[in-house]
Homo-oligomer: A and B are copies of this chain.
Amino acid sequence: MSDINQFLEEAAWLVNAELDRLIPAEGRPPQQLRDAIRWSLFAGGKRLRPALMLAAGRAFGVADEKVMRTAAAVEMIHTYSLIHDDLPSMDDDDLRRGRETCHRKYGEATAILAGDALQALAFQTIAEDAHNSPETKMRLISGLGQAAACMVVGQQLDLEAEGRELTIEEIENIHINKTGALIAFSTEAGAIIAEAEASEFEGLSRFGEKIGLLFQVMDDLLDVTQSTADLGKTAGKDAASEKATYPSSLGLEGTRDFASQVYEHAIASLMEVKADTSLLMQIARFLLERKA
């Protein structure tokens, strides 16, 4: 197994253990709500955001335990957004990560509430993190709040765009908000927790933005080129819903070229960062080459 796969597995294991501690299988009722939250939280997600945060923290020599709670919080926000985006009135999706979506399994009301609870718990988790100073936690909550608001903006723009032809700039604006902001926050958080210099923070922030874009470009590409079984979610959905994507705008070859460019820009933004960013660079490479 390559180094990067080993690291991604380790990061996933660490954040899963933290999430399991924060939201255990048994506890305060109502059990149905707890089950619904865990159904989506432990659906086998790749934990890319926690991995980026851990890698960014390690780049600055920060102990993993200072990062884990915020990493769990980011995954809670990510999961809540997936639950709500899948709802019948939104993207109306039945399948996510290879199994039923939350509302298909637990009903629409409980799915909405599971998402709502995850968002509240995310902010509470950071506020109650004993490993970081109040100042650091304030910056983290402010950043996470901004990212969460951006995600809502991105989803709204995405809904408004359906069936309409978009320019590449409009597509990019949707993605910057919908997925880019939280991915960028994930790398920024490593620098915030490390109390890194402003210039280092800026480098990590730009890297995160590019990585978010790369992730989305590849997602669009895989939606066209891979099968439902490979993806664990409904393939070909973008075309079916006439959603604007990179392949629909740039073609397959053009999209691959664009992904390579974005990857190069991501790497370039780390050039002036003094910390050891080799792990972050490997994650970028992994995203460029991923098949699912």
A contact set with B: CB distance below 8 Å? 28-30, 32-33, 80, 84, 87, 89-90, 107-110, 112-113, 115-117, 119-121, 123-128, 133-135, 137-138, 141-142, 144-146, 148-149, 152-153, 155-157, 159-160
Which of chain B's residues has its CB closest to A119's CB?
B119
Contact assessment for A30 and B153 in the assembled complex, using a CB-CB cutoff below 8 Å: yes
Residues of B within 8 A of A112 (CB): 84, 87, 89-90, 112
Contact of A121 among B80, B120, B126, B149 (CB under 8 A): B149
The secondary-structure label for the interface of chain A is helix
Pull 14 A–B residue pairs with CB atoms less than 8 Å apart, ordered by A.
A28-B153, A30-B160, A32-B156, A32-B160, A33-B152, A80-B116, A84-B113, A89-B109, A109-B159, A116-B119, A119-B120, A127-B138, A134-B138, A141-B141
Contact assessment for B113 and A142 in the assembled complex, using a CB-CB cutoff below 8 Å: no
How many Å from the CB of A239 to the closest CB on chain B? 21
Contact assessment for B152 and A120 in the assembled complex, using a CB-CB cutoff below 8 Å: yes
